[in-house]
Amino acid sequence: MATTEECRAALEKLSDSMRGAEGDVRAATELDRSVSCHITDLDVTFAGRMADGRIDVRETLEGPPREKAEIRLSMTGDDLVALVAGELNFARAWGSGRVKLEAGLRDLFRLRKLL
């Protein structure tokens, strides 16, 4: 089972990858939205902001998100680490319910370019 520190490191790695993106993928990362990522098996939520092509994690909270972020992710720590490492396909994980992504319709259309 992934630790809180490994999950935070995975989010940092994802953020670094987003910053280096180009073209359509870069356009998708340039949203300015609040973000939360609930790690279900650890019952920890990382909350922050997606802006300027990065994810800035500002808080690590015990339990589920306290406020409804504009972009919400939910998954196990192992799945987060595997997604960022390229070992788990996001579309398949989302389709099977292993990963939950909630956002407004326009944001979902833009975020699909990241998949």
> Which top CATH class is 4-114?
alpha beta
Domain spans, the chain: 4-114
Q: Are 15 and 55 in contact (CB under 8 A)?
A: yes
Convert the pLDDT of each residue in 38-95 to its tens digit.
Answer: 999 999 999 999 998 889 999 999 999 989 999 999 999 999 999 999 999 988 999 9
Rounded to the nearest 10 degrees, the angle between the axes of helix 4-19 and helix 77-85 is 30
Rounded mean pLDDT, 9-28:
80
pLDDT score at 22 = 74
Question: In DSSP terms, which residues pair with 42 in a beta bridge?
Answer: none
**Taking residues 87-104, what's their average pLDDT?**
93
| Residue 94 CB coordination number (10 Å) | 16
